[in-house]
Amino acid sequence: MKKVLLVLAGWVHPPYRGRVWLKETLGALGGFSFDEASSLPEAVTRGLSGYDALVLYYHYPKVALADAELDAFGSFVRDGGGVLAVHSATASYKPTLGYFGILGGRFIGHGPVQPIDVRPARVDDSIFAGIPSFTVHDELYLHALEPDIEVHFEADHEGKAVPVVWTRNAGKGRICYLCPGHRAESIKNGSVQEILRRGMVWVSNL
């Protein structure tokens, strides 16, 4: 049984219903048990050593992580902990640059809420194979990216492909990021739910 800490917060952003549907989507997976916290500092205070993975779906744009909190988060990942990060997780804790080095990307802007045509970025995908192109009505986040991310899904912005789903390894840990999540309805999209489930399994080393 893999033990996962859901670190979730928000009412309008990220939306409450989106958080509920996220929990339902992941809760349908067998072999997992879930606890909840409302922020990364709260999660660190609780203690991360008993968990196999974290799910991050929150928005704390102006809050800085203390050095000890960032160190605990980084150690958790490097020692083999998984991280499934959703939407505004990459727009949180902006004063703490080391946090983005772990996730693999730092939010730098987004376009309007509009239909986004998302497509697989590769044909030989060992994690998300078989998930076809899909359209989601959401914000397309733009990021400053770490060079070692592996892009799995992408969309076009001003004629250029930008990542929508990526993974990376950090030490023994695994990170998966999914962009959609500004609107609750995005979490109900069948392809988004399948990406969340497979991402959860992958970061947890199942």
Reading the chain (206 residues) residue by residue, the pLDDT tens digits are 999 999 999 989 999 999 999 999 999 999 999 999 999 999 999 999 999 999 999 999 999 999 999 999 999 999 999 999 999 999 999 999 999 999 999 999 999 999 999 999 998 999 999 999 999 999 999 999 999 999 999 999 999 999 999 999 999 999 999 999 999 999 999 999 999 999 999 999 97
For residue 72, the model assigns a pLDDT of 98
pLDDT given for residue 206 in this prediction: 78
CATH classification of 2-203, choosing from 3.40.50.11720, 3.40.50.720, 3.90.1150.10, 3.40.50.880? 3.40.50.880
**Cβ neighbours for 79, distance < 8 A, ≥ 6 positions apart:** 171, 172, 173
Residue 4 CA to residue 53 CA, distance in Å, equals 5
Q: Report residue 147: phi and psi, to 5°.
A: -75, -15
How far is CA 178 from its chain centroid?
5
| DSSP codes of every residue in 19-55 | HHHHHHHHHTSTTEEEEEESSHHHHHHH-STT-SEEE
User: What pLDDT score does 157 carry?
Assistant: 96
CA atoms within 13 A on the CB side of 204: 24
Determine the Cα–Cα distance for residues 54 and 23; give it in Å rounded to an integer.
13
pLDDT for 112: 95
**CB of 123 closer than 8 Å to CB of 117:** no
Q: Return the DSSP state at 113.
A: S
For position 55, what pLDDT does the model report? 98
- Burial class of 78 by CB neighbour count within 10 A (0 to 12, 13 to 18, 19+): middle
Q: Parse the chain into domains and list their residue ranges.
A: 2-203
